[in-house]
Structure 1
Amino acid sequence: MPQTKIYGVSEYLNPIKNQLSMVIHSCFVDVLQYPPEKRFHRFFPMDKSDFIFPSDKSQSYIIIEISMFEGRSIEVKKNLILLLIKRIGERFRISNNDIEITIFETPRHNWGLRGVPGDELDLAYKVDL
């Protein structure tokens, strides 16, 4: 169950939040075989003075952090990263240089969901892909 945080300059990020959420989720559905009805995205639009980044990045620079259960193969995670970069770049005309993605994986027992530890959940989707 990926939890996603998206950081960017507020003037750029705020107008595209809903569409960006849909694009990100479409990648999760296609690569991770994630249920279409489950979407967990949090946006962190930041004032330019609070979002310091290198001069080789533009104002459309975004950072995407994905927290999810461990278990997906390296190939699946690479496919997810590549599809995110492709779809986000195409849809919003953001350069590859302005999209950074980090995947954080933790054991299911480190999650608390629906009142139980994550390793006790009966999931409607596969994690070991």
Structure 2
Amino acid sequence: MIIVYGLKHRLSPRKQALMEIIFHCLHLELDIPPKKHALRFIGLDAEDYFYPEGRSEDFTVIEINLMQGRTEFTKKRLIKMLFCELEDKLDISPIDIEITIKEQPAHCWGFRGMTGDEANDLTYSIYR
């Protein structure tokens, strides 16, 4: 599950591009097939979104939930790749982007009627 938060009027017109960038980066860095994760956008009204001082209306938060196993190096490269791609393709300054990777052990995941540690048909490795 990936959750993207931002001001509704700034986030809404960028949803498709944000989705493509996020999935592209997950594919390149983690070898996850495109559109393999669920992605949710939460657009907020200004009175419901208080972002840090010194940031613009483009302030965007991206939470990425993954099964535990990737190396620190891999996760750092993913984060840096997202910063670069979002700035290059959507002109969102890195100061206006916050990225959090949340990891849980495979047994804490449930999909397709099984837990993540029971899934033996993943087409990508969580250990890279």
The bucket for the TM-score relative to the shorter chain is: over 0.9
- Give distance in 1, aligned partners of 2:68 and 2:31: 15
- Name the SS for the 1:125 alignment partner: coil
Could you tell me how far 1:53 is from its partner in structure 2?
Answer: 1.3
> After TM superposition, which residue ranges in structure 1, 4 or more long, deviate above 6 angstroms?
none
Amino acid at match of 1:107: P
Structure 2: unaligned runs, 5 residues or longer: none
Could you tell me how far 1:19 is from its partner in structure 2?
Answer: 0.9
Please list the CA deviations of residues 83-118 of structure 1 after superposition, one character each: whole Å capped at 9, or x if unmatched: 000001111111110000000000000011101111
Structure 1: unaligned runs, 5 residues or longer: none
Please list the CA deviations of residues 12-63 of structure 1 after superposition, one character each: whole Å capped at 9, or x if unmatched: 0000001110001000000001112524210000001000112201000000
- Give distance in 1, aligned partners of 2:31 and 2:50: 35
Q: TM-score, normalised by structure 1?
A: 0.95
Q: Which residue of 2 aligns with 1:12?
A: 10
Q: Which residue of 2 aligns with 1:120?
A: 118
1:67 aligns to 2:71 (yes or no): no
Considering only aligned residues, what root-mean-square deviation do their CA atoms show, in Å?
0.9
Q: Which residue of 1 aligns with 2:76?
A: 78
- Give distance in 2, aligned partners of 1:108 and 1:80: 20
Amino acid at match of 1:118: G
- Give distance in 1, aligned partners of 2:37 and 2:15: 13
Q: TM-score, normalised by structure 2?
A: 0.96
Where do 1:1-129 residues align within 5 Å? 3-122=1-120, 123-129=122-128
Amino acid at match of 1:110: C
8 Å contact from structure 2 (residues 86, 92) kept in 1: yes
- Give distance in 2, aligned partners of 1:83 and 1:15: 22
Number of aligned residue pairs? 127
**How many percent of aligned residue pairs carry the same amino acid?**
38
